[in-house]
Amino acid sequence: MDAPAPEGATKVAETVTTEEVTVDATPAAKTHWLALFPTNAFTIVLGLTGLGLAWQANSTNAFLQSVLGYGLVALGTIAYVAILGTYLCKSIVHPQATRDDFDDPDASNFLPAASMGPMLIAGGIASIFPTIAEILWLAGASFHLVLALRQIRYWIIRNFEIKSTSPAWFIPISGSLLAPISGIEFGYVELSWSLFALGLGFWIALFVIVLNRIIFHDKLPAKYIPTLFLLMAPPSLAFMAYTQLNGGQIDTFSQFLYHFALVASVLVFSMAQLFQRLPFTLSWWAYTFPLDAIALASFVYADYQQSTTMLMIAYGLLTVASFIVLLVSVRTILALLSGTLITRND
């Protein structure tokens, strides 16, 4: 005769059974791909359009500047329309899943990327469609200010454990630093300064918090490892934004921002072994935009300094950024065709 199970074991078994029933009882709609459509899909737009802007800065080859520069911006625009349309459909068909995105400490950080897309597209088409570009920028910058302030308010009023933080928290801040790069050219000086102040101030604060989390606490989960590349995005964007706000002049503070971004890039590149064996997910697109940003910043810096060495660095970074965007694009297409692109873990 089997011995009766201990009372504690019975309670554990009941708990497990209850949890299993709860999982099985989840509505089917929750597992539909549209309900699972992730907010980090917007980083695809940042990667494509950002690379287009970097190629537009390549003034030594007019053909590549035109074909790749404007071609990638056009591709990013198509991707933005498709991704935004899909997410709007999600908000209509699965409103609870959308509300969950806004309340999720991970997914909510990627929502401001939706407002960064129009600002990047505006920068890419400003020379040929200035009126449309200005409208796009103003809409994107205004929307981003709302989303960024909403996200910062969310961080303040909620209680977070330190392990909840990751470099993905830099995304709302990066958008605030992105805005003045084109905003000054369109004449929105005060709005550009407001967004720059917001971005720079909170970048400094968050950099300390995120670095503390990475160094002194549990290792980042695998899905967050690609976000380490975001360490180089805020200083790259801050350099270009401040240079614009400073009348196109590169002073000591500009140099500090650029070289901080450059050293951060070297630091991230030195950790290449962390990224080599990661399984593909949409979070790989976190590799792309920071590389685009440091490549573009390097062209701006090299052009001002008239430095051959800095120009070679800019070309090297542009080559790396182009290779990574191509690699991630191919892996994304393959995952889409195989039906594994969107998963619950994204």
> Tell me: the pLDDT tens digits for 165-182?
999 999 999 999 999 999
Q: What single-letter DSSP state applies at residue 26?
A: S
The span from the CA of 23 to the CA of 216, in Å, is 34
Q: What is the pLDDT of residues 5-25, one digit of tens each?
A: 444 444 333 333 333 333 333
Residue 200 corresponds to which tokens in the numbers above?
A: 């720079």
The chain-wide mean pLDDT, for the chain, equals: 89
Q: For CA atoms 82, 83, 87, 88, give the dihedral sign.
A: negative
The predicted pLDDT at position 344 comes to 66
Residues 78, 7: contact at Cβ < 8 Å? Answer: no
| Domain 31-338 is found in CATH 1.50.10.150 | yes
Could you tell me which residue, 11 or 267, shows the higher pLDDT? Answer: 267
Domain boundaries, the chain: 31-338
The 8 Å CB, 24+ separation contacts for 139-143 are: 140/115, 140/116, 140/179, 141/115, 141/179, 141/183, 141/188, 141/191, 141/195, 143/114, 143/115, 143/118
Number of H helices, E strands in the chain: 12, 0
Q: What is the pLDDT of residues 300-323, one digit of tens each?
A: 999 999 989 999 999 999 999 999
Phi, psi of 216, deg, nearest 5: -105, 0
Q: What pTM value is reported for the model?
A: 0.87
Q: What is the pLDDT of residues 40-87, one digit of tens each?
A: 999 999 999 999 999 999 877 778 888 999 999 999 999 999 999 999
The span from the CA of 132 to the CA of 339, in Å, is 36
